[in-house]
Amino acid sequence: MNMNRTWKIFALALAVKLSVLAFFLHVRPGLTNWGVNEAGMIARSLVLNHSYGAAFHDAPGPTAWLAPAYPSVVATIFTIFGIQSHAAALVLLILNCLSSAITAAVVMKIGTQCFSAKVGLLSAIFWALSPVAVTELILWDSCMAALSLSLAIWMTVKLEPESRVRDYLYAGAMWGCAGLISPSLLAPFLPILFVLYVRERKAKQLLILALAMVLVVTPWTLRNFFAFHTLMPIRSNGWAEIYFGNVGFDLHPSGPSMQYQTMGEAAFVEKTKSDVLRYLAAHPVEFSLLTARRAFHFWALSDGSLGLSFILGLLSFFGAFHAIRKSRNGAVVMLVLIFYPLIYYASYTFSRYRYPIEPIIYVLAAYGVTIIAKSAATIHSIDVLRTSNNAISDTVEERRFSAAPDGSYLGFSTRRVVALTRRSKTEHQG
């Protein structure tokens, strides 16, 4: 790929995102206020107490409420620019812009690898300019998650039958890094492995890929086990979030209930798990309806209105449908759209929860646009050809039924017509 084009896409995306950030900082001065922010609370504990804990008020103990990567980045920023300061918030927002701009370059590589250079360039331009993907103006891990998942997908779709073992190792490690930012990013990992196995039958290489991912996330999982004396792979709050999304937010640790603070994180999560399982058993129809509504909101209303998100969703699934049939990696990118949102269908949806897969959505949407454009061009060409053929036919008919200046008629000369007429009369008389 042309590196000059990659740098231009990165520069365009960064300029747009920084400009939008500057505008919103002007019109929304409170953008750098921390408010209730679990990542900021954990980072504060890391800086002051050298412990990964205190995600909520009055709860100084250890936590696994968030995956470790983003709070660790925030803690590093706090060390330099001050704990929960406006300067630290500004740096993190700029880091969001930088991550999103790098994602534009990765999006171009994914589109090119899976489809064509045209699709890669179009998807990168869409990502650089789209208001949905301009930047996440919140102090959260969304932009880092989008970048890490994009890198993992790119490193996966690059794998070929002749790829070296280290390529599989690097891809697996990147998946592990994505999981340490947000474990929901790992939802499509096993289905993608299955597709790769069916396609390549490279069991040894795929085992290396899977082991690399597991090795990256294992140390943090062991930390959680020793801290809570129970198995908590990466994060602890999965069942709690399903509880909040279906039963209610009354017990949320950021509120006044204090159940989390008095029970401790492990016991609180276990309680919400038991409560939500009882709810699901007692209200299966209600849960199904809520899940369907959340799925609709995820794809149609994640930007707050039935607009661009809905259009992008339709285009991405249209592109994915064609990609499965025509692209070697079509199934890989399609699985991201299918499996990543499942946890949010069961809990609740916000635009920042869809943001990590927006790069893949944009790639597939760009592919869908190229298919539509190609089909439209084909239809136009057929119409032009049909019009041309009709014009030619009309011209031929006109020439056949009109006498030419040399006396020809119906394609024959006058002398030839007279000769044929005399021969016909002679044969008839004979």
Cα gap 402→237, rounded to integer Å = 87
Mean pLDDT of 156-165: 92
Is 60 exceeded by the pLDDT of residue 409? no
Is the pLDDT higher at 401 or at 123? 123
Mean pLDDT of 343-349: 94
Secondary structure string (H, E, C) spanning the chain: CCHHHHHHHHHHHHHHHHHHHHHHHHHCHHHHCCCCCHHHHHHHHHHHHCCCECCCCCCCCECCCCCCHHHHHHHHHHHHHCCCCHHHHHHHHHHHHHHHHHHHHHHHHHHHHHCCHHHHHHHHHHHHHCCCCCCCCCCCCHHHHHHHHHHHHHHHHCCCCCCCHHHHHHHHHHHHHHHHHCHHHHCCHHHHHHHHHHHHCCHHHHHHHHHHHHHHHHHHHHHHHHHHCCCCCCCCCHHHHHHHHHCCCCCCCCCCCCHHHHHCHHHHHHHHHHHHHHHHHHCHHHHHHHHHHHHHHHHHCCCCCCCHHHHHHHHHHHHHHHHHHHCCCHHHHHHHHHHCCHHHHHCCCCHHHHHHHHHHHHHHHHHHHHHHHHHHHHHHHHHHHHHHHHHHHHHHHHHHCCCCCCCCECCECHHHHHHHHHHHHHHHHC
- The per-residue pLDDT for 426 is 56
User: Tokens 């968030």 appear where?
Assistant: 66
Is 70 exceeded by the pLDDT of residue 186? yes
Q: What are phi and psi of 390, to 5 degrees?
A: -65, -40
What distance lies between CA 7 and its chain's CA centroid?
22
pLDDT digits (tens, 9 = 90+) for 105-136: 999 999 999 999 999 999 999 999 987 766 66
pLDDT digits (tens, 9 = 90+) for 58-95: 999 999 999 999 999 999 999 999 999 999 999 999 99
Cβ-in-10-Å burial (0-12, 13-18, 19+) of 421 comes to exposed
Is the pLDDT higher at 376 or at 103? 103
Task: Judge contact between 38 and 56, C-beta under 8 A.
Answer: yes
pLDDT digits (tens, 9 = 90+) for 221-263: 999 999 999 999 999 999 999 999 999 999 999 999 999 999 9
Structure token digits, residue 235: 């994060």
Cβ-in-10-Å burial (0-12, 13-18, 19+) of 409 comes to middle
Neighbouring CB atoms inside 10 A of 429's CB total 6
pTM of the entire predicted model:
0.88
How far is residue 293 from each of residues 312, 335, 379, measured CA to CA in Å?
18, 21, 38
Lowest mean pLDDT among 165-169, 324-328, 333-337: 324-328
- The per-residue pLDDT for 410 is 45
Amino acid at 107: V
- The per-residue pLDDT for 411 is 47
Residue 62 bridge partners (DSSP) = 53
Structure token digits, residue 255: 């509120």
Lowest mean pLDDT among 74-88, 120-134, 150-164, 186-200: 120-134
pLDDT digits (tens, 9 = 90+) for 348-366: 988 889 999 999 999 999 9
Q: How sure is the predictor about 306, in pLDDT bands with cuts at 50, 70 and 90?
A: low
Is the pLDDT higher at 427 or at 274? 274
| Average per-residue pLDDT for the chain | 89
Q: How sure is the predictor about 388, in pLDDT bands with cuts at 50, 70 and 90?
A: low
How far is residue 115 from each of residues 122, 195, 361, 365, 366, measured CA to CA in Å?
11, 18, 14, 12, 10
User: Tokens 């959680």 appear where?
Assistant: 224
Mean pLDDT of 409-421: 49
User: Tokens 């990013």 appear where?
Assistant: 185
Structure token digits, residue 70: 């983003």
- The per-residue pLDDT for 157 is 96
User: What residue ranges do the domains of the chain occupy?
Assistant: 3-373
Cβ-in-10-Å burial (0-12, 13-18, 19+) of 285 comes to exposed
Cβ-in-10-Å burial (0-12, 13-18, 19+) of 165 comes to exposed
Is 90 exceeded by the pLDDT of residue 291? yes
pLDDT digits (tens, 9 = 90+) for 98-111: 999 999 999 999 99
Structure token digits, residue 126: 């869409």
Lowest mean pLDDT among 29-43, 120-134, 238-252, 403-417: 403-417
Q: What percent of the chain has pLDDT over 90?
A: 74
Task: Judge contact between 54 and 226, C-beta under 8 A.
Answer: no
Mean pLDDT of 334-338: 96
- The per-residue pLDDT for 422 is 57
Cα gap 21→271, rounded to integer Å = 41
Is 60 exceeded by the pLDDT of residue 305? no
Residue 53 bridge partners (DSSP) = 62
Cα gap 244→268, rounded to integer Å = 13
Mean pLDDT of 8-29: 92
Residue 135's nearest CA partner among 43, 4, 25 is 25
